[in-house]
Structure 1
Amino acid sequence: MDSKQTSRKRKRTTFWGMSFRTLILILVLMFALIVIYQMKVLTSLELTGLRQVASAATYYFKGNDVYRLFNNTNNINKIIVQHEFAGFRNASREELVSNLVPNIVYYVWCENATFEFKHYLSVLSVWKVLQPDMIEFHYFGKIIFDPYNDWFNRLLRTIPGFHAIKAPSHWDGEEMGCDPQLGLALVDDRGGIYVSANTIIADSIFQYRKRDVTVILQGPNSTNEISILIGKSHNSRLDESIDSLVRYYQKLPQIRNFCDYSSHNSPGHNTFACVTIPDSAMLYPEDYFSVNSSFGNLVRTVLYGNPAPRVPLKSPGAVPKVVHYVWFGSKNMTFMMYLSMLSTLYIVNPEKVYIHSDGYLHGTYYDKILKDKRVVFVYRERPGYIYTHRLLYSQHRSDIVRGDVLLKYGGIYLDWDVLWLRPIDDLIQSGYDAIANFDHMRHAQYPNTINLGVFLAKPRSAFLKRWQDALVDYKSDDFLYNAVLLPYKVYENLPETLYIERRLQVMCYHLKCHPAFHPNFHDFSEAQEFDWRNDVYAIHFTFPDPHEYDNVTSLWSGQGMFADIGRYVLKFADKLPK
């Protein structure tokens, strides 16, 4: 080989080496930006992933700042802490001057009413955008809580300077007025910022703190009630009545300011510094996970830290193709349980089926199932406590084990009253960390609930970890809360960690089936039609089991959809080893 060829070869080698190094650097930087931008929950598995990305770059970038950033535990911890500041406005030292309106925010609560999500958004936006020294919530009426609307308590646990104050006894709400009259009086007495409980702050209003008094009205096309009042104490303008104050600002276009009063249900662009929500409007986080609107962006920024749609995230790897059942206590395996196992073994066709039990399953059907060597009995002592809380219901014991097993090993959990109808390889390979379905039954004010009777997850899924963490508030005497209501709350907080597959299972209650993809699936007084052969992956009989599944005789003599499904599953019994 002559010197020219050798030189060209060296140049090509150098070129490809540099290109590969550049590609690695770009990938590392993109990974960093994705993590920081998404601001998602970082589980221990994801933290390990961060370190692995750094390690992969060691050969090419040893000593480089990119490597040091990701391979240093302290730096990773800094990323996690900074993620908690997502959505906060950057404070400026321009605010640290004298003669400004005090940075204290007042709310006034008049009626005996539920503190809803829209009120929570208001206070949260004040905390993140205005960053006040304190937030005082003055109340006359009772703040009503229900199983879903725990937003007020969440604020008390989240915002250090937020506290509730009972309205002073000398203030007669009926004679002197309540809201915004008390808010006006508080601003007049001490200075500060009054915000109505329906108003969400979208942008800084610092410039108004330089003025003696500023009134921001509800909207140019509304009743022109006050949404925000900003003022210094003992200003003569604040001695006026509310009506005269509003009329004064209505007459002066050059100083009139408005909140937006319509963007909560409009796709238009919002240029206002605040949005006021009508009293009658019902808002839920789920409604704004991915809606493409200015208000949707605002809700996501306030709630999650950035305006990006909160959609389930995919990651490399599949859900392990193993199935987990749980049973505690003595039980002769029923025909229904036998059908469930048959559908798992020969429709899902898993690598293994694990029965986590304290060892008291028995009977003819159990003996038949054990002939398939993929079925593995795993001794598991029944749990008695979770985070010091005593477990009262046997179903709760199954809930605890389900979460623990899937968090460790991943796979597919199945209740014993579920029959598979079609393979699930597409779901297993989808890339989602966790997959579940909505329950057909609504509860209290919940817009939806989640049924984990069929549940797919990778090991160490973020959703599972946060659900397990949330069980520190386990309710021993509440049958539904821990595994139906609480998972939905986790989903609201972290929608990117769980994929809702509405066709994963159709639930049948009192033998009426309610597919979650049907618009009226919450109406469990009437059955909704579906094609069991094509529309869903599984059917789940929450209560009771169909009489067709009492025994073989009942199944073969039965008529209708349940009998057809049972006979379809039973034919796989011929595949069991003899």
Structure 2
Amino acid sequence: MHLTGIEGSSGTNKSVPVYKYKDKCLREELYDQCWDGKPVPNIVHYIFFGIYKLSFVQFLSIWSIHTIQKPCVILIHGDTQLSGPYWTYLVRTIPNIIRVRKTPPKEIFKNPIKVIQHKSDVVRLEAVRDFGGIYMDNDQIILRSLDPLRNYNFTLSHEFDDNLSNALIMSCRNAPFVNLWYKEYASFNTSLWSHHSCILPYKLLQRYPHLIHVENKTFVNPDFRHRSIIFDGNFNWSYNYAVHLYIRFYNLKHFNFIDIRHLNTTIGSVARYVLYGHRELCSD
């Protein structure tokens, strides 16, 4: 893999197919082409609302899913055309990226949705419900194949003992659990930050445990309360399927391929593993 010079490259989006979200032919074609006998198809979903230039961490997320999960297709749902050297490198290197036009919803069940994070919470459920597959936050990094978990109809992971994270969602198409979760948005209240996204699925787990497989913090560890160890310490992520980086709390403008070669931190070892196949500090 030749990563040198990515920051200075340029290009266009002309090679990336673009479809409308409601294109039924796209859904059926992908479902047929990506069907391999497992309940959850190997289709990956990202949501980019209001983002124009791909960051290094977002590149790292997509690169991790491409190299480790090897999905049938990567769907980029959003309302903007992504650009920048990292995006250019991805579309030149990964042949199975598809852009899906999706406008951020203004309401759900007549309840207003005011912040972009809540809009994304709704659309990620719609995406895995309508297409099936694996939803990824754009600062979620895959560390090993999710294929063993694709045998379950629906999978989430604890972040804390009393919640379930929605940063990584695995679902068959029209999974009963995701349909129940979506219907609960009839009571959505924009002033409750994480209730419908993390607390509500945990409550549904108590009522419908047979509809969901739950991982014990293998998608999100370190958790939100211990997120500083990602950038300031070293965490043993050997047992993780993925790690969530919580990038909105950090200034990562100067975070790039050169930095991660010598960072003796969790993010350094994770980035080196994804990009170079090893965790060790680089010698030069």
**Structures share a fold, TM > 0.5?**
yes
Match of 2:212 in 1: 498
Residue number in structure 2 paired with 1:246 = none
Cα deviation, residue 459, structure 1? 0.5
Q: Does 1:433 align with 2:153?
A: yes
What SS does the corresponding residue of 2:245 show, helix, strand or coil? strand
Distance, in Å, in 2 between the alignment partners of 1:344 and 1:366 is 15
Q: Distance in 2 between matches of 1:360 and 1:569?
A: 25
Contact 1:548 1:563 survives alignment (8 Å): no
Moved more, 494-503 or 349-358: 494-503
Which consecutive unaligned segments of at least 5 residues does structure 1 have?
Answer: 1-315, 441-446, 514-526, 573-578
Q: How does 1:144-163 map to 2 (within 5 A)?
A: none
Cα distance in structure 2, aligned partners of 1:385 and 1:547: 32
Partners of 2:253 and 2:241 lie apart in 1 by 20
Match of 2:276, SS state, is helix
Higher relative contact order (CA 8 A, sep 6+): 2
**Is 1:536 aligned to 2:240, yes or no?**
yes
Matched residue, 2:228? 511
Q: Is the 8 A contact 1:507 1:542 kept in 2?
A: no
Change (3 A) 1:545 1:319: farther
2:115 to 387, 393, 412: 393
1:479 and 1:317 mapped to 2: Cα distance? 34
Query: Residue 181 of structure 2 aligns with which residue?
Result: 467
Contact 2:47 2:76 in 1 (8 A): yes
For the pair shown, which has the larger CA radius of gyration, 1 or 2? 1
Q: Does 1:550 align with 2:270?
A: no
Offset at 1:339? 0.4
Deviation track 1:296-348 (CA, whole Å, cap 9, x = no partner) reads xxxxxxxxxxxxxxxxxxxx842100100001113311000000010010101
- 1:363 and 2:109 matched: no
Aligned residues of 2:79 and 2:102 also touching (Cα < 8 A): yes
Indicate the SS of the match to 1:466: helix
CA distance in structure 2 between the aligned counterparts of 1:492 and 1:455, rounded to whole angstroms: 18
Distance 2:244 2:253 in 1: 15
Q: How does 1:2-401 map to 2 (within 5 A)?
A: 317-371=38-92, 372-401=94-123
> 1:549–1:347: structure 2 CA closer, same or farther, 3 Å change rule?
farther
The question of whether the paired residues in 1 share the 8 Å contact of 2:54 and 2:84 is answered with: yes
- In the alignment, the residues of structure 1 paired with residue 54 and residue 187 of structure 2 have an alpha-carbon distance, to the nearest angstrom, of 34
Note the C-alpha offset of 1:558.
1.3
Distance in 1, matches of 2:199 and 2:254, equals 30
Residue of structure 2 in register with 1:564 after alignment: 269
Structure 2 regions of 5+ residues with no counterpart? Answer: 1-36, 278-284
Distance 1:466 1:501 in 2: 20
Q: Which amino acid aligns with 2:80?
A: G
What's the % identity of the aligned pairs?
25
Q: Which amino acid aligns with 1:352?
A: V
Change (3 A) 1:549 1:494: farther
Q: Of 108, 118, 130, which aligns to 1:408?
A: 130
Matched AA of 1:458:
C
Q: Deviations over 1:83-104 (max 9, x none)?
A: xxxxxxxxxxxxxxxxxxxxxx
Residues paired across the two proteins, number: 234
| Residue 359 (structure 1) shift | 2.0
1:321, 1:412 within 8 Å by CA — same for their partners in 2?
yes
Tell me the TM-score normalized by structure 1. Answer: 0.39
Answer whether contact 1:329 1:360 (CA < 8 A) is retained: no
AA in 2 matched with 1:542? Y
Shift of 1:550: 1.5
